[in-house]
Amino acid sequence: ESYLNSINLKSCIPYKDFNYFQKRFLQHPIFIYQYYGIFSNKCISALIVCRVVTYCDSKCIRIVDYYGKHDM
């Protein structure tokens, strides 16, 4: 939550607030998501939401959402 609050949320398009991430990812009844941050000067500037997908004996990491500036 603190990472999400440190991103300038209203400057990103589309605008997604903490409630969106909480309802969509943190409270998901089935999937478990992983969160990765892109940092600049010890401040988070973007967030990547991923989940591990397993098929037979293989695994891959799937990026399901990116939130931040696209010109990085």
pLDDT digits (tens, 9 = 90+) for 2-51: 555 555 555 555 667 778 888 889 888 899 999 998 888 878 888 899 99
pTM beyond cutoff 0.85: no
Residue 1 has pLDDT above 50, yes or no: no
Check residue 12 and give its pLDDT.
56
Residues present in the chain in total: 72
pLDDT digits (tens, 9 = 90+) for 46-71: 889 999 999 999 999 999 998 877 76
CB 18 within 8 A of CB 4: yes
CB 45 within 8 A of CB 72: yes
